[in-house]
């Protein structure tokens, strides 16, 4: 600690903080011009993804940066306010989880860091226990936990400043090791009580408005927690204009450390992808110390904690993932990092030029040479990687198609139903993974549904067994669009097929075409992403609007009965709608999960589920349910959905149970009934 103390004393916040300034915008201005020239008016269809891309280009000051190196940093500390009984878990859980991170490697942080291809670093900022025997743990302890903030200040002003300085040192170390994106997280029983208090002060809200359930506590304990936050604010009277005072009186050592990491990232022009409410509390501290530091952060998701929304609004940050998460181990930020990296990969491909067609295998090589993606191209059989074609182009049959009621009856009467036994076993395991019950929200639901589709308690999904099927009436796509879609698929390891519709052949032939192509791909793949092109030169989003107006009431409910809705589809969209309908039915019939790319595809899916209710278990809508980006370019939303699904399976297959990791279970709330050790 003496060496650390010397290093902390050498840091002057008064000298460093004025050096933080927002990045310039010259690179993004150049990038916007390049993108407009490549996509020829379609650049707006990137929605919220484009600003995130430009944000990073400005921060790193490069037009074509390498694939980012990522570091997940879990800052651990105990809180004296835990003595007030505000958590569903005992305080020793902090140490147990630290051992889980470093020894048993079965926590959410381990799983999601692996999913993001990030290095995991764990830091002891103030655990109230002996950690000398814990391997691979950074020892930067300020004290053995904070004091009880309901009775007085959580820490001294000097301790608050030192916790921030530790974060600055960590940022310096990460930069020296070549990391570009920092994904902070935290572990500390009762820390959402502290973050609620920080939010109340910094966002000018009442304890009731910002205090959430944390570890999924009961109503009775939540009422107590609100009272504790109110008492802490009354006892300490933190100065809303003094970040150090807020941190010292109602904060935690891990919040100071994360604030320091943010400030350090700003000094070195690196990106911090924020996770949930506790990261938000740290970002508020950093923002009050250096307002420009927010320009080096990006919000990932909107968590379930009540305070999180107010924090992001105060910081002026917009989350784009809606996964109902309530766990702060860099989960949402890990998923967000993969989504942003996939767009960065597509941008790199666009910059190489779009006039010459590139084979899929060569596209893999191009991305890997620049460090993008984690797909081993040598693992793909030659039959799956066509070196001569960018994509698989599918054409409709020349002969006339005659479908009878027997064809429909066959599919509808033999549609598989989810394996309830596998789903129950999967859900029971998820409940007992080392996390608060239901804290991973939509990820838990997706993994359980995939278990039902596959009939396996712990399904695994090889990215080489996924495919993007894109329906279009065009003979040729704009080269830049085709290359960008192919790059998205290649980054994820998906196959990419363009199914060319001949509208002159009619809706029945289109249905059969969609059915045949989807069946062909579903027999080889466990997941099919479905997307559809606009008709002619219509702007992106036109089909979404047209089908919404034609097939839905103003409140969003379905306007027509299932057996007659096709007659109300505008004639120019009937081939695409019919093909999508056939593709959904055939994919689900073969047990493949279906990712729905756009609003138009989702509307078709809603009618398909009325025709065959069994389809519901196999269809996964993405936007705006899980992702809110306003992305209209085909394949982008499906790509985001694939990253979310992939993350859910990393959760299921890489995390360990309380029994396996030797971690205490919940003693309050729903977890007390469903978690066992």
Closest CA to 565 of 547, 543, 587: 547
The yes-or-no answer on residue 92 being catalytic is: no
Burial 369-379 (b: 16+ CB within 10 A, else e): ebebbebebee
Distances, alpha carbon 112 to alpha carbons 78, 248, 322, 640, in Å: 23, 31, 17, 16
β-partners of residue 271 are: 181
The phi, psi pair for 552, rounded to 5°, reads: -120, 150
Q: How far is the C-alpha of 302 from the C-alpha of 322, rounded, in Å? A: 6
Q: How far is the C-alpha of 531 from the C-alpha of 175, rounded, in Å? A: 40
Specify whether the CB–CB gap between 129 and 92 falls below 8 A.
Answer: yes
Distances, alpha carbon 510 to alpha carbons 391, 480, 502, 524, in Å: 20, 26, 8, 22
What angle in degrees, to the nearest 10, is found between the helix axes of 219-236 and 191-202?
Answer: 50
> What would the two tokens of residue 186 be?
């935290």
Q: Cα–Cα–Cα angle for 296, 302, 307, nearest 5°?
A: 95
The alpha carbon of residue 553 and the mean position of all alpha carbons in its chain are separated, in whole angstroms, by 31
Q: Mention every residue, 6+ apart, whose C-beta is less than 8 A from residue 290.
A: 17, 20, 263, 266
Q: Mention every residue, 6+ apart, whose C-beta is less than 8 A from residue 523.
A: 590
> What would the two tokens of residue 80 be?
């004296």
Question: Residue written as tokens 């933190």?
Answer: 238
- Of residues 84, 305, 329, 599, which has the active-site annotation? 329
> What would the two tokens of residue 406 be?
């027997």
Number of H helices, E strands in the chain: 27, 12
Specify whether the CB–CB gap between 188 and 123 falls below 8 A.
Answer: no
Cα end-to-end span (Å), the chain: 37
Instruction: Determine which helix (DSSP H) or strand (DSSP E) holds 338, and give its type and residue range.
Output: helix 331-351
Q: What positions carry a catalytic annotation?
A: 329
């Amino acid at each position: 600690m003496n060496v650390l103390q010397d290093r902390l004393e050498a840091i002057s916040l008064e000298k460093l903080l004025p050096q933080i300034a927002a990045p310039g915008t010259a690179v993004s201005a150049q990038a916007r011009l390049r993108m407009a020239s490549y996509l020829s008016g379609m650049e707006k269809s990137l929605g919220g993804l484009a600003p995130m891309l430009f944000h990073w280009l400005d921060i790193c000051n490069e037009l074509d940066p390498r694939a980012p190196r990522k570091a997940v940093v879990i800052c651990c500390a105990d809180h004296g306010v835990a003595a007030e009984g505000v958590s569903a878990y005992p305080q020793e859980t902090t140490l147990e989880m630290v051992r889980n991170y470093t020894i048993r490697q079965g926590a959410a942080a381990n799983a999601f860091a692996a999913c993001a291809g990030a290095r995991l670093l764990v830091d002891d900022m103030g655990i109230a226990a002996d950690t000398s025997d814990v391997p691979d743990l950074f020892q930067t302890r300020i004290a053995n936990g904070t004091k009880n903030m309901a009775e007085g200040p959580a820490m001294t002003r000097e301790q608050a400043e030192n916790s921030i300085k530790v974060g600055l040192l960590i940022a310096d170390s990460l930069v020296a090791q070549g990391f570009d994106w920092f994904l902070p997280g935290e572990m500390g029983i009762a820390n959402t009580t502290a973050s609620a208090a920080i939010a109340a002060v910094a966002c000018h809200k009442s304890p009731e408005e910002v205090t959430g359930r944390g570890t999924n506590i009961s109503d009775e304990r939540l009422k107590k927690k609100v009272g504790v936050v109110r008492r802490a604010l009354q006892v300490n009277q933190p100065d809303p204009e003094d970040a150090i005072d807020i941190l010292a009186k109602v904060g935690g050592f891990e919040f100071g450390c994360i604030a320091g990491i943010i400030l350090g990232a700003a000094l070195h022009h690196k990106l911090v992808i924020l996770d949930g409410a506790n990261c938000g509390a740290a970002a508020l501290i950093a923002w009050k110390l250096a307002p420009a530091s927010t320009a080096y952060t990006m919000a990932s998701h909107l968590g379930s904690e009540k305070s999180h929304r107010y924090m992001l609004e105060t910081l002026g940050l917009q989350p784009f993932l809606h996964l109902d998460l309530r766990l702060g181990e860099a989960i949402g930020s890990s998923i967000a990092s993969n989504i942003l990296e996939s767009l960065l990969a597509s941008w790199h491909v666009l910059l190489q030029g779009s006039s010459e067609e590139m084979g899929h295998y060569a596209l893999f090589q191009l991305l890997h040479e620049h460090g993008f993606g984690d797909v081993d191209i040598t693992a793909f059989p030659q039959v799956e990687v066509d070196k001569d074609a960018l994509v698989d182009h599918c054409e409709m049959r020349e002969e006339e198609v005659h479908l009878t009621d027997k064809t429909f009856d066959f599919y509808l009467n033999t549609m598989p139903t989810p394996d309830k036994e596998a789903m129950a076993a999967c859900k029971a395991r998820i409940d007992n993974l080392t996390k608060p019950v239901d804290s991973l929200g939509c990820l838990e639901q997706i993994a359980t549904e995939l278990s039902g589709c596959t009939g396996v308690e712990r399904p695994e999904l090889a990215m080489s067994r996924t495919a993007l099927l894109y329906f279009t009436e065009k003979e040729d796509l704009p080269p830049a669009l085709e290359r960008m879609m192919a790059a998205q698929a290649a980054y994820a390891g998906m196959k990419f097929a363009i199914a060319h519709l001949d509208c002159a052949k009619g809706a029945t032939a289109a249905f059969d075409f969609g059915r045949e192509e989807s069946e062909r791909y579903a027999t080889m793949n466990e997941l099919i992403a479905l997307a559809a092109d606009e008709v002619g030169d219509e702007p992106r989003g036109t089909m979404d609007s047209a089908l919404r107006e034609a097939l839905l009431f103003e409140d969003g409910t379905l306007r027509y009965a299932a057996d007659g809705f096709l007659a109300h589809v505008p004639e120019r969209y009937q081939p695409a709608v019919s093909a999508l309908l056939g593709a959904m039915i055939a994919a689900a019939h073969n047990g493949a999960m279906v990712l729905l790319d756009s609003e138009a595809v989702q509307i078709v899916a809603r009618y398909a589920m009325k025709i065959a209710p069994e389809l519901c278990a196999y269809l996964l809508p993405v936007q705006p349910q899980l992702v809110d980006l306003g992305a209209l370019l085909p394949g982008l939303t499906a790509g985001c959905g694939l990253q979310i699904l992939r993350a859910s399976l990393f959760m299921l297959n890489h995390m360990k149970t309380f029994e396996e990791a030797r971690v205490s279970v919940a003693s309050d709330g729903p977890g007390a009934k469903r978690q066992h050790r």
